[in-house]
Amino acid sequence: MPSPTGHAARLALAVLLCALAMTPAAAGAAPRTPSHTGAASWTAQPAVSGSGTGGRPYIYLEGPPGTVLQDRISVTNPGRSPVTVRLSGADRYEAKSGGSGGRGATGAGRWLRTVAAEVTVPARTRADVPFTVTVPAGATPGDRPAAIVVRGGDRTVGVPVRLRVGGPTLAALTVEDVTVSGRVIHYTLVNRGNAVLAPRLAVRADGVFGTLVRRGARPLPVELRPGQRLRLTEPWRDVPALDSATVRLRVTAEGGAHGEATARAVFVPWAPLTAGALLVLAGAGAGTYAHRRRRARRQKQGGTGAGGGSDGDGDGDGEDDAGGERSVRSPGGRQHSGSRHLAKAGAES
Share above pLDDT 90 across residues of the chain, in percent, rounded to a whole number: 49
CA atoms within 13 A on the CB side of 139: 27
Please choose, from the candidates 92, 201, 187, the residue with its C-alpha nearest in 3D space to the C-alpha of residue 145: 92
Q: Do domains 43-165 and 173-267 have the same CATH topology?
A: yes
More confident residue, 40 or 140: 140
CATH number given to 173-267: 2.60.40.10
Element (H, E) at 43: strand 43-46
Residue 61 pLDDT > 80: yes
Residue 335: φ, ψ to 5°: -105, 135
When the candidates are 3.30.565.10, 1.20.140.10, 2.60.40.2310, 3.30.530.20, the CATH number that belongs to 43-165 is 2.60.40.2310
More confident residue, 218 or 339: 218
Q: Tell me the residue type at 130.
A: P
190 beta partners: 174, 229
Give residue limits of the domains in the chain: 43-165, 173-267
Name the DSSP class of 60: E
Q: Distance (Å, rounded) from C-alpha 73 to C-alpha 127?
A: 8
Q: Distance (Å, rounded) from C-alpha 191 to C-alpha 257?
A: 9
Name the DSSP class of 193: S
pLDDT at 293: 79
Name the DSSP class of 108: G
Name the DSSP class of 291: H
Residue 116 pLDDT > 60: yes
| Band of pLDDT at residue 246, cut at 50, 70 and 90 | very high
